[in-house]
Structure 1
Amino acid sequence: MQTVAITPSGAHLPYEIKHMDDIGWETIRWPGETGKMLFHPRPERPTEPNAGILRLEPGAHHPLHNHDFAQVWYILSGEFKIDDTLCKPGTMIFHPDPHFEGKFETATGGDILIVQYPGPTTGGRPIYAGRFDMDKRRDVADERTDL
């Protein structure tokens, strides 16, 4: 991590630089997904977004489910079907707060850049611990998917 000096007034914080090769792949809650969250909320930094790369194996999927935070996805590689829409590299998807994520699947696998951030209207916060750093994935039936 690289940082720069704080401004003389101390009013603004410096930027941070992280490289994805400095962080290992972690198990994510949905089948066939791993990720590298370069930034994520912690007690000392609760408004930091979940930001990083999702890597999806061919056949990865998740069911329709909802969230109270906002997020943006940018497809880097692979093809992904969300409900009945095929999304290819270069596609950006915005999920406002609150939002639902449609049925998601991929035959090709691929990588998605994601940024999840506190919902400006709901105040809902993205969750890192227990979702992006799982020791063992739970069965999809045991995940909250209610709408």
Structure 2
Amino acid sequence: MSEIDPITLAPILNPGGIGGPLTAAHREMTVKHRDDLDWDNLRYEGQFTKMMFHPTKDDPTVPNAGVVKYLKGSGHPLHSHYFAQIWYILAGKFEINGVVYGEGTMVFHPDPHFEHALTTLEDGEILYVQYMGPTTRQPAIYEGRFNMKTRRSLEEESRAV
């Protein structure tokens, strides 16, 4: 009789998980490189994205994870989300709620959260990781946000999610 993993409820194939996956439910990593992707439009003018990972219908728990490029003067208004996210500023200077943040700054937004208006003071890039809220259980939004063929006007853009 094989031992059962209490989390996945799958039979343990490799006790201790050394030298192989613990169970058949344990998946291997996925690797992508940003240079293999083209820049896509983000929902606000002057912003472009290379989301290397994003939720799908088949796997809704995958985070939005990738790089957002901001052109000087771009930004976003105050708005709210139900998912959680982390930003890491790779380059540039960003004014958020009257404070200027630059390279090496990490920002955590719990779920649910609101984001202060952001203005880009110079061209910059931020690594985004948006993931299902641990308390709200609401996933990050990819469709219609990170892959815009054409952008809506700011007045038409929802600030609610």
Q: TM-score over 0.5 for the alignment?
A: yes
Q: Deviations along 1:52-89, whole A, 9 cap, x unmatched?
A: 00000011111000000000000000000011111110
Matching residue of 1:59: 73
Asked whether the equivalents of residues 81 and 160 of structure 2 are also in contact (C-alpha less than 8 Å), the reply is no
Matching residue of 2:29: 15
The amino acid across from 1:69 in the alignment is: F
The amino acid across from 1:54 in the alignment is: V
Q: For the residues of structure 2 that align with 1:142 and 1:123, how far apart are their CA atoms?
A: 26
Q: For the residues of structure 1 that align with 2:160 and 2:32, how far apart are their CA atoms?
A: 35
Alpha-carbon offset, residue 8 of structure 1: 6.6
Decide which structure has the larger Cα Rg and report it: 2
Which of 80, 102, 111 is residue 88 of structure 1 equivalent to? 102
Q: For the residues of structure 1 that align with 2:157 and 2:60, how far apart are their CA atoms?
A: 23
User: Counting strand residues as a fraction of each chain, which structure ranks higher?
Assistant: 1
The amino acid across from 1:111 in the alignment is: E
Q: For the residues of structure 2 that align with 1:60 and 1:82, how far apart are their CA atoms?
A: 12
Which of 50, 54, 57 is residue 36 of structure 1 equivalent to? 50
Matching residue of 1:74: 88
Asked whether the equivalents of residues 83 and 138 of structure 2 are also in contact (C-alpha less than 8 Å), the reply is yes
Call closer, same or farther: CA 1:86–1:12 in 2, change over 3 Å: same
The amino acid across from 2:153 in the alignment is: D
Q: TM-score, normalised by structure 2?
A: 0.85
- Provide runs of 4+ in structure 1 moved above 3 Å: none
Q: For the residues of structure 2 that align with 1:37 and 1:9, how far apart are their CA atoms?
A: 29
Q: For the residues of structure 1 that align with 2:125 and 2:111, how far apart are their CA atoms?
A: 23
List alignment gaps of at least 5 residues for structure 1.
1-5
Q: TM-score, normalised by structure 1?
A: 0.92
